[in-house]
Amino acid sequence: MSSEPSSQIPVPSAAAADPAPERKPRVAVVFGGRSSEHTISVATAGAVLRAIDRTKYDVLPIGITPEGRWVLTADDPDRMTLGGPALPSVEQLTEAAEGGVLLPVDPSVREVVLSEPGSVPKQLGEVDVVFPVLHGPYGEDGTIQGLLELSGVPYVGSGVLASAVGMDKEYMKRVFISYGLPVGPYEVIRPREWENDRSAVRKRIVDFTADHGWPVFVKPSRGGSSVGISKVSGPGELDEAIEQARRHDPKVVVEALLRGREIECGVLEFEDGPRASVPAEIPAVSSHDFYDFEAKYIDSAAGVVPAALSTEETARVRELAVRAFDAVSCEGLVRADFFLLEDGELVINEINTMPGFTPISMYPRMWKHSGVDYPELVDHLIQAALRRSTGLR
């Protein structure tokens, strides 16, 4: 046998040939924010963090303080519930007094960086998808969606335009009307109108009630969770209600009272298109004048799932919910809210492009009754975002 070395490449051992374990997709759950719905966002994030399959995903919890600072927070869902002695906040989940989390602005780089004064920035690793459980302005209105588009990071939910339209009650209604969807009577008070001529605004609203009656609901145009909303029974209450709404948004919407049943429906996007859940009903709450913040989140006023509707009514709600989703060019998920009036007419009130995910929230409850439980729902949204590329939508 020749003593010359073999020209063949040595075959590595079986152990050495094993491929490196595949990296799990990394999900950044972003929550909190600068809006009046900060607390609800934290509670929603707690539920999402609890539901994410940790054997399937790595998770990076990122909180945004009410001042707008991005911080790395504790991954502690138990401290993020609404049932404690105090309402949860991002500040309760971080001990860092300074510094912050920075997203890349280069689409070719997905490394998230932790920057602290006096220290070398720390690489927190790549992020594959962002789950922005932010409600209200600076989160649900297209702003963070625009930032994520610039960063080139996929994210859960609707894009920039749909998020902005879905947040602004005036333009949402305008889009609905253009697509032939039925909406209730409303008026808009723009900032300059109120600042320059309050008497003219008051007269316009009184004229509006001559056709539609009192009471009316005065709302921030871009807000949610019933924050800043007042039920106004006469002209003497109008100024205070407008000022209350303007504390949350300088543009105000005034809506006529619609007498009927409050119906909600969830829409979830599948690979073959959006589908609607079974509808739910929000019953009248005797201890509250209307379905306000306390009724929704503090007193745990539970909706009825499924709603007691006829087959025809159920089909109509689901049809209009999907049509509203498509009209605004939504993606991922939407909760559509309706009034079923006493005469049988169905009117769409609004959509929410990032509805609440707290344990008592209606969106996950409706989908659970439709055969998609909470962890499956969260996984479905993450997977859909991973499949979807960023860019013009």
- pLDDT tens for 160-200 read 999 999 999 999 999 999 999 999 999 999 999 999 999 99
| Percent of the chain predicted with pLDDT > 90 | 69
| 383 vs 18, more confident | 383
pLDDT for residue 1 is more than 60: no
pTM of the shown model: 0.86
Euclidean distance between the first and the last CA atom of the chain, given in angstroms as a whole number: 69
Packing angle of the helix pair 198-212, 238-246 (nearest 10 deg): 110
E strand map for 169-245: 186-189, 216-220, 230-232
Task: Identify the pLDDT of residue 101.
Answer: 85
Check if the beta carbon of residue 117 is closer than 8 Å to that of residue 98: yes
For the cut 60, the answer to whether the pLDDT of residue 376 exceeds it is: yes
With contact defined as beta carbons under 8 Å apart, do 336 and 320 qualify? yes
Q: Mean pLDDT throughout 9-29?
A: 64
| Residue 246 φ/ψ, nearest 5 degrees | -70, -15
In the predicted structure, residue 290 carries a pLDDT above the cut 90: no
pLDDT tens track for 60-76: 999 999 999 999 999 99
pLDDT of residue 339: 98
Strands 346-352 and 260-270: unpaired
Which domains occur in the chain, in start order? 26-155 (3.40.50.20), 167-182+259-385 (3.30.470.20), 186-256 (3.30.1490.20)
Answer yes or no: are the C-beta atoms of 280 and 307 closer than 8 Å.
yes
d(C-alpha 328, C-alpha 356), whole Å: 19
The per-residue pLDDT for 289 is 57
CA distances from 333 to 32, 65, 192, 314, 326 (A): 19, 25, 34, 19, 11
